[in-house]
């Protein structure tokens, strides 16, 4: 199902929205300080082209680093870049995904594609600090995070 969904998605417009992400990546790559946005945009372009079987997780959930001066600084810088992205390419991508999601959900067959569009719409504003991983990896990350949270509750 993943392969068929990805092929249909790609043919019916996934390639176009991925190109918009890559255009944003190219624009921000021209400015040296925009390189964090470039990496994030390339990750999201990959997800936009082939969304089925993939999910996005926060980088801190993957590397499991705790709050420190270094992670706080990178988080602040990421926040600033996310704001920059949101006011430039983020709004265009959000609206594109939103329109595609509504149009896809008009038919029963299109509902899975509409749900993917809505997922991508939410991610289009805040791409820095996110990594595209397989669904299975995302599930393991969520399970580990839940186990850590449960252990913390039990200690308290």
Summarize pLDDT for 25-76 with one digit per residue, the tens: 898 899 877 887 888 888 889 898 999 999 888 888 888 777 666 666 777 8
Distance CA 118, CA 122 (A): 6
pTM: 0.78
Tokens of 156: 């308290």
Given this model, what pLDDT does residue 72 score?
67
Given this model, what pLDDT does residue 82 score?
85
Task: Answer whether 104's CB lies under 8 Å from 110's CB.
Answer: yes
Q: How many helices (H) and strands (E) does the chain have?
A: 8, 2
Task: Answer whether 59's CB lies under 8 Å from 132's CB.
Answer: no
């Amino acid at each position: 199902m993943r392969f068929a969904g990805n092929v249909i998605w790609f043919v019916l417009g996934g390639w176009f929205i991925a190109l918009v992400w890559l255009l944003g990546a190219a624009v921000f790559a021209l400015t040296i300080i925009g390189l964090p946005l470039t990496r994030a945009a390339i990750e999201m372009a990959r997800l936009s082209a082939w969304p089925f079987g993939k999910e996005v997780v926060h980088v801190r959930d993957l590397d499991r680093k705790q709050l420190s001066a270094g992670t706080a600084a990178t988080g602040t810088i990421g926040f600033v870049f996310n704001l920059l992205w949101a006011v430039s390419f983020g709004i265009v991508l959000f609206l594109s995904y939103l329109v595609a999601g509504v149009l896809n959900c008009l038919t029963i067959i299109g509902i899975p594609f509409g749900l993917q569009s809505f997922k991508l719409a939410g991610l289009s504003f805040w791409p820095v600090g996110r990594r595209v991983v397989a669904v299975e990896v995302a599930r393991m990350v969520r399970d580990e995070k839940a186990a850590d949270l449960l252990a913390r509750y039990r200690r308290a």
